[in-house]
Amino acid sequence: MSAGGLARKLAKLGLRSRLDFVLHLPLRYEDETTLTPVGEAPAGRPVCVEAVVQRAEVAYRPRRQLIVHAEGLVLRFFHFYPSQLKQFERAAENGQRVRAFGEVKPGWFGAEMAHPRYRLVREGEPLPQALTPVYPTTAGLSQAELRSRILAALDDGPLEDTLPAPVLARHGLAPFAESVQRLHRPPPGEQAEGLEDRAHPAWRRVKFDELLAQQLSMRFAYRSRRARAAPALPSDGPLLTRFLGSLPFALTAAQRRVMDEILADLASPHPMQRLLQGDVGSGKTILAAIACLAAADGGFQSAVMAPTELLSEQHYRKFREWLSPLDVEVLWLRGGQSRAERKALLQALQAPGPKVAIGTHALVQEGVDFARLALAVVDEQHRFGVHQRLSLRNKGRGAEALPHQLMMSATPIPRTLSMTYYADLDVSTIDELPPGRRPVATRLVAAARRPEVLARIRAACAEGQQAYWVCPVIEESPEGEMQAATATHATLAAELRGLAVGLLHGRLPAQEKAATMQRFAAGEIQLLVSTTVVEVGVDVPNASLMVIESAERFGLSQLHQLRGRVGRGARESVCILLFSDNLSATARERLKIIYENADGFEVARRDLELRGPGEFLGERQSGVPMLRFAELERDRDLVEAARSAAAELMDRYPEAARAHVARWLGSREDLSHA
């Protein structure tokens, strides 16, 4: 192989620096320390055998293959290089032996092995003393080649421990060099099962280091942002005071606690970096408004970004209702605005004076500039990519100061996950629903019982209530999704003659969406047929019935979010999950979870279990490099340990902290926290 070819293959495996090689850990181990006579090989278990090579040939039946005849054993290769044929022919001439590792099976010519790993040896060549590691590799790069590179990297000078001895001792950790040596070069007598089990002390050290690097890099990012300047905002200015004196409802204890946390952050001359999480309907929006008023009291602007046009409009209306009496200007940046309108808005943002701008990601577009942005609120933050989230922050007033940041999310993150992925944020949690809410009753109903569901909708509407009918997601075709919703709307309107049935989907012009939503909010539409556009944030308290069609096609957090659209008023609400025949086992499991759990945290925990953190968050969204070695749920104790070690290191051993991040993340470090 050419040097360039080799380098390319290694690069494909992500192997460039010394540490990349050192951390390219075995998938498993093979035991070649003893030879098994071919005749005694047990069925179903790989063994190491040795036999004299007699001849080699390429046969074409049933398909092209290399057949190597050795004494009492046939080896078969369906993928091979011409050089391999030559190699075996030469071995046959020289009376060499083949030492092969694999499963022996009975075949046409007697004992056979298909695609064994093999080595040509002379008689009496000593067996390895210890287990042979098997590495993840790529086509055309042999285990032997890869192994020799890795061992060379291991031996390329001392591998210093990044962690001070007291830290190792406190967490009962093995030294780093010893751990990686052990994994790559198991000592004689070490058993494969022990090493392959990732609870082995050597593995634990590697996983700990990985988690620690992640914690440290996020803390460094947090600290460097925290060192920047931000306007200190008053907690007791006249606007906020007036607003709190005339709230439309009394804040819950949890809302008051979170308000104090937010206001304390805002009062400091450094940027707040806070995540506010609270289940659907827990009342996060009013806290955003409170934060905006603190900014307004300081004479500053705020921006509130929402993931959908629908939600941004709803926020706009709510904020206007709350803030207009205080003479705080509320602006709405939306799609489909005329040039003149947009120009006027952009000019208003350039002018000083307190105001609140609300919009979708249109807020972070080119050309949108704020004169005095002091606060950036991102609602349903998990719906945005990192870059969108961060670009709102960068709409601040130049390099020296950053706006305060408030991220809000109704997708509660299980604790282990939030400890790792939100380690660079302060987290506030609203763990209480406003009083008088009754839990939504969830019903699982077979699609065949649709007529009963229709009767139920009629009855609810007759009592002055309203209902949603959500049509299934069609991932691969938004077009088809729209058609399905349109067809369902027509059918339901015919079946429920006399009821005002509205239609909402993502492809409608913004104006029409807004008008429909408004008519639903005003009670003019009784049944709203919709795609998942109503999933996030939509708040119409009079709606008390939610029907989700083909519920088995939705994800868990999606179902939970949708269910959260009802149960917002004082009335008992019901969520009907219509399911089709022939449910798969996972679909059944999902429906069972949503049926049994009303608590968003529990739903999220189960969702995480089912999907794993990668899918649950998505690398693009989290902006945090995924873990290669550690598993959050399984290694919960290590996550805790790494978190406390990170604090200790930053405090007492800053050099070690820096060295550790450099070792693990190197040039990738800036990527995680742009």
Q: How far is the CB of 259 from ligand ADP (least distance, A)?
A: 11
Task: Say whether residue 252 binds ligand ADP (CB under 6 A).
Answer: yes
Residue nearest to ligand ADP (CB): 283
Which residues are CB-contacts of 17 (< 8 A; sequence separation ≥ 6)? 666
> Which long-range contacts (C-beta less than 8 Å, at least 24 apart) are formed by 387-393?
387/674, 388/305, 388/361, 388/364, 390/674, 391/364, 392/303, 392/305, 392/363, 392/364
Question: Which residue's CB is nearer to ligand ADP, number 175 or number 523?
Answer: 523
Which residues are CB-contacts of 657 (< 8 A; sequence separation ≥ 6)? 216, 220, 646, 649, 650
Task: Say whether residue 434 binds ligand ADP (CB under 6 A).
Answer: yes
Task: Say whether residue 251 binds ligand ADP (CB under 6 A).
Answer: yes
Task: Say whether residue 560 binds ligand ADP (CB under 6 A).
Answer: no
Which residues are CB-contacts of 467 (< 8 A; sequence separation ≥ 6)? 457, 460, 461, 526, 527, 528, 543, 544, 545, 546, 547
Task: Say whether residue 72 binds ligand ADP (CB under 6 A).
Answer: no
Q: How far is the CB of 174 from ligand ADP (least distance, A)?
A: 46
Part in contact with ligand ADP (CB under 6 A); list of ranges 134-142, 246-254, 601-609, 635-643:
246-254
Whole-angstrom distance, CA of residue 290 vs CA of residue 277: 16
Task: Say whether residue 409 binds ligand ADP (CB under 6 A).
Answer: no
Pairing of strands 273-278, 426-430: parallel
Q: How far is the CB of 270 from ligand ADP (least distance, A)?
A: 27
Cβ contact 537:308 at 8 Å: yes
**Cβ neighbours around 414 below 10 Å, total:** 19
Whole-angstrom distance, CA of residue 67 vs CA of residue 83: 14
Task: Say whether residue 277 binds ligand ADP (CB under 6 A).
Answer: no
Q: Which of 410, 417, 484, 527 binds ligand ADP (CB under 6 A)?
A: 410
Tokens 């027509």 map to which residue? 490
Part in contact with ligand ADP (CB under 6 A); list of ranges 59-67, 105-113, 280-288, 386-394:
280-288
Helix (H, G, I), strand (E, B) or coil at 305: strand
Compute, in degrees rounded to 10, the torsion defined by CA atoms 556, 558, 561, 563.
-70
Task: Say whether residue 284 binds ligand ADP (CB under 6 A).
Answer: yes
Quickly list H helices, 509-571. 510-521, 556-563
Task: Say whether residue 215 binds ligand ADP (CB under 6 A).
Answer: no
Task: Say whether residue 431 binds ligand ADP (CB under 6 A).
Answer: no
| DSSP secondary structure letter of residue 537 | S
Site for ligand ADP in 318-377 (CB under 6 A): none
Q: How far is the CB of 250 from ligand ADP (least distance, A)?
A: 6
Q: Which of 539, 589, 633, 640 binds ligand ADP (CB under 6 A)?
A: 539
Helix (H, G, I), strand (E, B) or coil at 232: coil
Task: Say whether residue 225 binds ligand ADP (CB under 6 A).
Answer: no
Question: Which residue's CB is nearer to ligand ADP, number 195 or number 467?
Answer: 467
Question: Which residue's CB is nearer to ligand ADP, number 283 or number 613?
Answer: 283
- Nearest-Å Rg of the Cα atoms of the chain is 32
Cβ contact 670:663 at 8 Å: no
Task: Say whether residue 141 binds ligand ADP (CB under 6 A).
Answer: no
Part in contact with ligand ADP (CB under 6 A); list of ranges 386-394, 519-527, 537-545, 590-598:
537-545
Residues that bind Mg ion (CB under 5 A): 537
User: What does 249 bind: ligand ADP, Mg ion, none (CB cut-off 5 to 8 Å by kind)?
Assistant: ligand ADP
For ligand ADP, the binding residues (CB under 6 A) are 249, 251-252, 255, 278, 280-286, 410, 434, 537, 539, 541, 568
